[in-house]
Amino acid sequence: MDPLFPVPLAALCEHFGQREDRLFVYLNRRSLKAFSDEDLLLLLRCQAAAFRELGIKAFKYQVQRLELKVFRSFRFDPSTEQDLCQEAYLGLHRHLINPDWSLHSASLSSYYYRILKNLAIQRAIQGKKESRFWSGEQSEEQKDHPTPAEDGILQQLIHQEEREAFRNAIEQLPPKKRDILLMRYYKNMDYEAIQIQLGHSTKYVSRNLVFSALKALKNKLKPD
């Protein structure tokens, strides 16, 4: 464990060779690209908020090209890209606030790049699943493998000619039932995950709610 965590101002002064009353001005005059990983780690872990903010500014400047490199492979809107960058930095920040974590042989930017790329891939996969869910399509995996009984109920409801009715029926469900179906079939959450999300005492409660939501959906799809 690092004995200087969070990093005190005295350690920053020693590292950069500046007096405390001149340190902030000195660092603000430096080029953002001139900060090394060691510099950034000290700034991002500093106990003083002003120096942490300076570290974040320098770090985000240095990873701009990596962000562009990741997003060239995807077609996200600017808002989604911004959300992913923020989520990636928060993922990196969880490492930064761990006194036992160190860079080892990797660079700070490469850690961030891997986190951002994985998040982008997950978001792209999630988008495809959402598109299939609302269109009523089955994935290749679903076609090749038999589904449990509950999945069978759902699949019986989804036919090519009934996609619009299916979409309308989902939208007409009460919010709780609609959310449960989205968690189970769009997000592929198991009963235990749904239990945690909804705060139920056991996963069997979540299981019964899934079947209840399926039944409500089936009733919506019945002809008048």
In the chain, % of residues over pLDDT 70: 75
- pLDDT, residue 198, reads 75
What confidence category does residue 146 fall into, taking pLDDT thresholds of 50, 70 and 90?
Answer: very low
Mean pLDDT of 155-165: 55
The pLDDT assigned to 209 comes to 82
**Predicted pLDDT at 130:** 58
Nearest to 167 by CA among 176, 157, 152: 157
138-221 CATH choice from 3.40.640.10, 3.40.50.720, 1.10.10.10, 1.20.140.10: 1.10.10.10
The model's confidence at residue 178, banded by pLDDT at 50, 70 and 90, is confident
pLDDT of residue 205: 65
Find the mean pLDDT for residues 82-98: 88
Is the bond preceding 6 in cis, omega lying within 30 degrees of 0?
A: yes
Worst-scoring range by mean pLDDT, 77-81, 165-169, 196-200, 202-206?
202-206
**Is the per-residue pLDDT at 103 higher than 70?**
yes
Q: How confident is the model at residue 131 (pLDDT cuts 50, 70, 90)?
A: low
**Cβ atoms < 10 Å from Cβ of 58:** 21
Percent of the chain whose predicted confidence (pLDDT) is above 90 = 32
Domain boundaries, the chain: 9-129, 138-221
4-57 pLDDT, tens per residue? 578 899 999 999 999 999 999 999 999 999 999 999 999 999 999 999 999 999
Task: With 0.85 as the threshold, say if the pTM is over it.
Answer: no
Q: Please check the confidence at residue 160 and state whether its pLDDT lies above 60.
A: no
